[in-house]
Amino acid sequence: VRDEVTLVELVDRVLNKGVVVTGDITLSVADVDLVYVGLRLLLASAATLEGEAE
Amino acid sequence: VIHLYAFVQGLRELEAGLQARPFGAVVAVVGPEEPDPLRHGLVVEGLLDRADAVLPVRFGERFAGDDELAGAVTPRLEALERQLGHVSGCVEVGVRIVPRREASESEDGAAYMRARLLEQVAADELHRELATRARDSVRTSRDAGYLVARSDVDGFSVAVERLLASNPALDVLCTGPWAPYSFAAAT
């Protein structure tokens, strides 16, 4: 469990924090990065699959 | 394509496949490939052991070539150097308040509010104590990041445990040490 937490945390950090030196980093809708939205959907669907498998 | 991972100072070595691009006292760590977010994160964490100061760059900073990179970095050198000085010798420790299940599942509204209030008071106290031990700190409602000297990480962890022992109202997830993302502001 600990490693999974760390992995999600790590990806969350690189997508949401850190120095930006260019004006536009990713396409965004209402300030929400699409890459990030995509990741959340992916996590949500993995969790849903897991729930269905049980 | 040039992918930007981090800015560093006091770089001792670089893992294969990465390159250092010096801009005066600031060194940009770049790579020729576009990594996925996980790889980007692992590269940045790997730099912690190889440089004195690591200022992480958010995933997705890519440039067509060296000229474009220089054009983006050069006007920001002063701010980058200041931020590198701030995080030098430090790592980030994350402290996240984990909501209690019994409180969130309670059907009694008053009991829920009481539990939330207790959690809030305890979290404020925890943050106050930890912030005094750190060089810097940032906090949102349930998440806090602390900029801690590498040499003090163990001492800091002990302090977290000691404070938690006296704070039965809190469940906490402590993570790190990380590269100091929370102290790397957009410039």
Residues of B in contact with A7 (CB under 8 A): 38
CA B186 – CA B176 distance, rounded (Å): 22
Walk across the sheet containing B90-97 and list its strands. Answer: B136-139, B143-149, B90-97, B172-178
Residue B184 has pLDDT above 60, yes or no: yes
pLDDT tens, position by position, B149-160: 999 999 999 999
Whole-model pTM: value is 0.81
Handedness of CA B148, B150, B152, B156 (dihedral sign): positive
Q: Which of A10, A17, A21 sits opposite B73 (nearest CB)?
A: A21
pLDDT digits (tens, 9 = 90+) for B88-101: 999 999 998 887 76
> Do A9 and B175 make contact, defined as CB atoms within 8 angstroms?
yes
A25 CB neighbours in chain B (<8 A) are 58, 60-61
Contact of A53 with chain B, judged by CB distance below 8 Å, is answered with no
Chain A nearest CA to B14, separation (Å) = 20
- A5-46: per-residue pLDDT in tens? 678 888 889 988 999 888 644 444 455 555 544 444 444 444
Q: Is the dihedral of CA B56, B145, B37, A28 positive or negative?
A: negative
Contacts of B77 (CB under 8 A, 6+ apart): B23, B24, B26
